Chains A and B, each alone.
Chain A
Amino acid sequence: MVDLSTSYLGLDLKNPLVASASPLSQKVETVRKLEEAGISAVVMYSLFEEQIIYDSLRLDRDLSQGTESFAEALTFFPDLAAQGDLNQYSIGPDDYVENLHNLKQAVDIPIIGSLNGMTNGGWIEYAQKIETAGADALELNIYNLSTNPEVSCLEIEKEYLDLVRAIRDSINIPIAVKLSPFFTNLPNFARNLVEAGANGLVLFNRFYQPDLDLEELEVVPRLVLSSSQELRLPLRWIAILYGRIAADLALTTGIHTTEDVLKATMAGASASMTASSILKYGIEHVVEILEGLEFWMEEHEYESINQMKGSMSQQAVAEPAAFERANYIKVLSSFDLRFAP
Chain B
Amino acid sequence: MKRPTITVDGTEAVAMVAHKINEVIAIYPITPSSGMGEFADAWSAVGRTNIWGTVPLVVEMQSEGGAAGAVHGALQTGALTTTFTASQGLLLMIPNMYKIAGELTSTVFHVSARSLAAQALSIFGDHSDVTATRSTGFALLSSGSVQEAHDFALIAQAATLESRVPFLHFFEGFRVSHEVNKIEQLLDEDMRAMIDDDLVQAHRARGMSPDNPVLRGTAQNPDVYFQARETVNPYYAACPEIVQRNMDKFAKLTGRQYHNIDYYGAPDAERVIVMMGCGAVTAAETAKYLNQEGEKLGIIAVRLYRPFPVADFLKSLPPSVETIAVLDRTKEPGSTGEPLFLDVSAAVQEGMEKGTAPFTKKPRIIGGRYGLSSKEFTPAMVKGVFEEMQEGSPKNSFVVGIRDDVTNNSIDYDPGFSIEDPDTVRAVFFGLGADGTVGANKNSIKIIGEETDNHAQGFFVYDSKKSGAITISHLRFGPQPIQAPYLIDNANFVACHQFTFLERYDVLKYAAPGAVFLLNSFVGPDEVWDKLPRQVQEAILEKKLRFYVIDGYQVAEEAGMGRRINTIMQTCFFAISGVLPRDQAITAIKDAIRKTYGKRGEAVVKRNFDAVDKTLANLFEVEVPQAATSELTMRAPVSIAAPEFVQEVLGEIIAGRGDDLPVSAFPVDGTYPTGTSQWEKRNIALEIPQWEEDICIQCGKCVFVCPHAVIREKVYDPALLADAPPSFQFADARWKEFPNMKYTLSVAPEDCTGCALCVEACPAKDKSQVGRKAINMVDQPPIREQEAANWDFFLSLPEVDRSAINIGNVKNSQLLQPLFEFSGACAGCGETPYLKLLTQLFGDRTIVANATGCSSIYGGNLPTTPWAANEEGRGPAWSNSLFEDNAEFGLGMRLTLDKHQEYARELLPKFADHLGEDLVSEILNDDQTSEAGIAAQRSRVEEVKERLSSLDDPQAKDLLSVADDLVNKSVWIVGGDGWAYDIGYGGLDHVLAMGRNVNILVLDTEVYSNTGGQASKATPRAAVAKFAAKGKGLPKKDLGMIAMSYGYVYVAKIAMGASDQQTLRAFLEADAYDGPSLIIAYSHCIAHGYDLIKGLEQQKMAVQSGFWPLFRYNPQLAEEGKNPLIIDSKKPTISFSDYAYNETRYRMLLQSDEQRAEALMNQAENDVTSRWELYQQMAKMNYDGKNGKEE
Contact = CB atoms under 8 A, between A and B. Distances in A.
Interface of A: 52-53, 55-92, 217-218
Contacts of A70: 433, 462-466, 469
Given A52-B603, A57-B603, A83-B1029, A71 B174 contact: yes
A83 B45 contact: yes
A63 B596 CA distance: 12
A92 B601 contact: yes
A86 B47 CA distance: 12
Nearest to A67: B439
A1 to B, nearest CB: 42
A119 to B, nearest CB: 10
A68 B460 contact: yes
A91 B406 CA distance: 61
Given A67-B433, A72-B1012, 14 more contacts: A59-B1148, A66-B434, A66-B466, A68-B471, A71-B123, A73-B1010, A76-B1089, A77-B1148, A78-B1025, A80-B45, A84-B45, A87-B599, A88-B601, A218-B770
Interface string B437-473: 1110010000000000000000010111110010100
Nearest to B1013: A76
A77 B1145 CA distance: 8
B1144 interface: yes
A83 B43 contact: yes
B1012 A73 contact: yes
A73 B1011 contact: yes
A210 B68 CA distance: 58
Interface in B36-73: 38-39, 41-43, 45-48
A61 B598 CA distance: 14
Interface range, B side? 35 or more
A70 B827 CA distance: 13
A79 to B, nearest CB: 7
Contacts of A67: 433, 439
Contacts of B816: none
Interface in B1083-1118: 1086-1087, 1089-1091
Contact of B463 (A69, A79, A86, A88): A69
B42 A83 contact: yes
30 contacts: A56-B601, A57-B601, A59-B600, A59-B1148, A62-B1089, A63-B600, A66-B1086, A67-B439, A69-B469, A71-B463, A72-B857, A73-B1013, A74-B35, A74-B438, A76-B1087, A77-B1087, A77-B1089, A82-B42, A83-B39, A84-B46, A84-B47, A86-B599, A88-B599, A89-B599, A89-B1152, A90-B1154, A91-B1151, A92-B601, A217-B770, A218-B770
B831 to A, nearest CB: 14
A75 B1089 CA distance: 11
Contacts of A64: 436, 439, 564
Interface string B590-621: 00000001111111100100000000000000
Do most interface residues of chain A lie in helix, strand or loop, or is the interface mixed?
A: loop
B58 to A, nearest CB: 12
Contacts of A91: 600-601, 1151
B1026 interface: yes
Contacts of A71: 31-32, 123, 174, 462-464
Contact of B123 (A60, A62, A72): A72
B1151 A90 contact: yes
A287 B5 CA distance: 64
A17 B460 CA distance: 63
Nearest to B764: A217
Contacts of A85: 46
Q: Which 3 A-B pairs have the closest CB atoms?
A: A69-B433, A56-B601, A84-B46
A68 B436 contact: yes
Interface string B811-827: 00000000000000010
B462 A59 contact: no
A70 B461 CA distance: 9
Nearest to B1014: A78
Interface string B1146-1174: 01101110100000000000000000000
Nearest to A72: B31
A53 B46 CA distance: 27
B753 interface: no
B1024 A62 contact: no
A78 B1011 contact: no
A319 B463 CA distance: 80
Contact of B1151 (A76, A78, A79, A89): A89
Contacts of B770: 217-218
B701 interface: no
Given A56-B602, A66-B433, A92-B602, A78 B31 contact: no
Interface string B1-42: 000000000000000000000000000000110110011011
A81 B465 CA distance: 29
Nearest to B598: A88
Interface in B1002-1035: 1009-1013, 1024-1026, 1029
A23 to B, nearest CB: 14
Given A78-B45, A78-B1026, A90-B1154, A217 B765 contact: yes
B826 A66 contact: yes
Interface in B755-788: 765, 770
Nearest to A81: B599
A90 B1156 CA distance: 14
Nearest to A90: B1151
Contacts of B1091: 61, 65
Given A59-B1148, A68-B438, A80-B1152, A89 B601 contact: yes
Contacts of B599: 81-82, 86-89
B901 to A, nearest CB: 39
Contacts of B607: 57
A83 B1029 CA distance: 10
A68 B1012 CA distance: 10
Interface in B819-851: 826
Given A66-B1086, A72-B31, A89-B599, A78 B436 contact: no
Contacts of B123: 71-72
Given A86-B1152, A91-B1151, A68 B1144 contact: no
Nearest to A218: B770
Given A66-B826, A72-B1011, A80 B1029 contact: yes
B86 to A, nearest CB: 11
Contacts of B1012: 72-76
Contacts of A69: 432-434, 438, 462-463, 466, 469, 471
A115 B378 CA distance: 61
Contacts of B471: 68-69
Contacts of A72: 31-32, 34, 123, 857, 1010-1012
Contacts of A65: 434, 1086, 1091
Nearest to B1143: A62
A78 B1024 contact: yes
Nearest to A87: B599
A62 B1144 contact: yes
Nearest to B462: A71
B1026 A77 contact: yes
A340 to B, nearest CB: 53
Contacts of B1152: 80-81, 86, 89-90
Nearest to A55: B601
